[in-house]
Amino acid sequence: MKYNMLLLEEKDDIAIVSINRPKVYNALNREVLEELDKAITYIENNADIHAFIITGVGPKAFVSGADINELNGINSSDGTKWMLEGQRIFARIERSDKPSIAAVNGYCLGGGNELAMACDIRFASENAKFGQPEIKLGNIPGWGGTQRLPRLIGLSRAKQMVLSGEFISAKEAYDYGLVNKVLPDQESLLEESIRLAHVIASRGSISIAYAKKAINYSQETSLDAGLSLEAFGVGLCLSTDDQTEGVNAFIEKREPHFKGK
């Protein structure tokens, strides 16, 4: 499929999705979201892809936020619909059986931060800046910022970021728990993201999917309900060929060769 606003590159068992609007700091408009939705569908339906990376083209921005031209003059009803559509697409990333890594270079603001938070893992370059500046425009985050941010960094820090609209550095984002690792530059950022994506992709896809589902579920339910889902997942994995292969490989002191069965 041809994309106008994205680049999609496949590297063996992973895919790299790059937002490709560097002249406007990779701002998200409707066409970007539509293409991102289609890219996710392609990745989920491709049995050869087991993990994916989302990043931005150019050194200045991962995603600078929603395209202001899309918001200027929009009415309340249409604005709500656009927010709900973005939420749906970001939730697809979060709930996908295939793990995702956000490789954050430069500005990661508003909808960009919300996109990064929908990914399972976030790496950042030292020049990255994170923020939810919607309050400066007389509005609030609309693609998950008020919900995912406190889950990741805590209520008080989330309120500080959202209510002030101020940016935080990559180091602060790491200290807050918003990102997993900070890399020196964009090149090393992408290298480390690709390395980890390949590591994750080499694991059994069934166990990866259930592990991710169980961890996500922990944020929405009671401990007892989460433990029940975890036990069910273990039982399901025990019935797979991948489980047998994993145990045999361990006993035989070799690398396992999982087939997703």
Catalytic annotation, residues = 114, 134
64 contacts 25 by C-beta, under 8 angstroms: yes
Paired residues of 157 in beta bridges: none
What is the biggest distance separating any 2 CA atoms in the chain, rounded to whole angstroms? 65
Distant-in-sequence, close-in-space partners of 115: CB < 8 Å, separation ≥ 6: 28, 54, 63, 90, 93, 102, 143
